[in-house]
Amino acid sequence: MKVRPLLATSIVVGLTIGLVVACGTVGPPVPPENVGVNSTIQLQKKRELLGLKQQEAAAAAETAEPPQDPLLQGQDVNLPPLRPVGTR
């Protein structure tokens, strides 16, 4: 029995595509150190430490700001003149 070359090629291509789809995601393997509860807990601890460091840095920067002039607080602040909104 003689098989046409086009038919044989389409069968091979179909089987290859079917095999790739059936195998799931194609990509590099995931190392076991990055999977599981222990690695998730370690990642959360690192994020918490980073957040604490950022809060400390923000608190230090806040205290390092010079105090505002007491004369410019409240009703003594000079505001720009009012301008009409829209045209009538």
The reported pTM is: 0.39
* Model confidence pLDDT, tens digit, residues 27-38: 777 787 878 888
72 phi and psi, to 5 degrees? -95, 10
Residue 44 lies in a domain: yes
Q: What is the pLDDT of residue 81?
A: 72
End-to-end C-alpha distance for the chain, whole angstroms = 92
In this predicted structure, the answer to whether residue 72 has a pLDDT above a threshold of 60 is: no
Q: What is the pLDDT of residue 45?
A: 95
Q: Which tokens sit at 60?
A: 């230090």
- The structural domain count of the chain equals 1
CA-to-CA dists, residue 36 to 3, 26, 39, 65, 83, angstroms: 51, 21, 6, 44, 62
Residue 47 lies in a domain: yes
* Model confidence pLDDT, tens digit, residues 14-67: 888 877 766 666 677 778 787 888 888 999 999 999 999 999 998 888 776 666
Identify the domain containing residue 45 by its residue range: 35-59
